[in-house]
Amino acid sequence: MGSKGYIVGEGYEMPRPKFQPVQWSKQVWNNWCIPKHQFVGWLIARQALQLKEKLFALGITADDTCILCGSDSETAVHLFQKCRYSSKIMDLLAQMGGFVLPQGDLLNWLGQMQGSALRKGILLCLVQAIYCQIWIQRNKARIEGCILRPEIAFKLVIREVQLWVRSKIQPCIDIRDREWLVRFHMIM
């Protein structure tokens, strides 16, 4: 209640819970990313994927070993940052882009990255597409017992993102961005 009596807006806000803004929302929910990749990114950010670590703790699986590399417990950090399979795909992205990827949270690094909105958006799109492809390959390995080589999985990511980006790019873009897009084969 305000000093001048009852204020309708305050009464409306009282029963609503106050949520803290999350750090990852702009990296996951942005206009450049493909919606199905955003969904997987959202699940990753909310720690809602049914990883073997969780399934093992519930007694659903016999072990919690990463099915893609077999070297460590399948956690989100392992699967998307430390797994040899995932690392190989990320190395291919860094090689294509001519940059060094940081250790740790890649989406936050991209969120703080300097550069044009176009470059930042496309890199976010690529990273989310890679995360989605890693999740697809992990599930494929679990269900079908086979996975694509990282090089082929990366080519699928590039092809999918190329089609998406080409549909979104405006014809008149900055020459530096155009050169950068050629490097990623997004435009010819």
Quick: pLDDT tens for 92-118: 999 998 888 887 777 677 777 777 888
Q: What span, in angstroms and rounded, lies between the C-alpha atoms of 132 and 151?
A: 15
Phi, psi for 102 (deg, rounded to 5)? -80, 160
pLDDT, mean over the chain = 87
Residue 52 phi/psi, 5° resolution? -60, -30
Digit-coded pLDDT (tens) for 12-56: 777 777 777 777 888 888 888 999 999 999 999 999 999 999 999
Q: How confident is residue 78, by pLDDT bands cut at 50, 70 and 90?
A: very high
**In angstroms, rounded to a whole number, what is the distance separating the alpha carbons of residues 97 and 107?**
16
Residue with tokens 């080409």: 166
pLDDT computed for residue 139 by the predictor = 96
List 65's β-bridge partners, or say none: 73
Q: How far apart are CA 73 and CA 55, in angstroms?
A: 11
Percentages (nearest 5) of helix, strand, coil residues in the chain: 60, 0, 40
Asked if 148 contacts 142 with a C-beta cutoff of 8 angstroms, the reply is: no
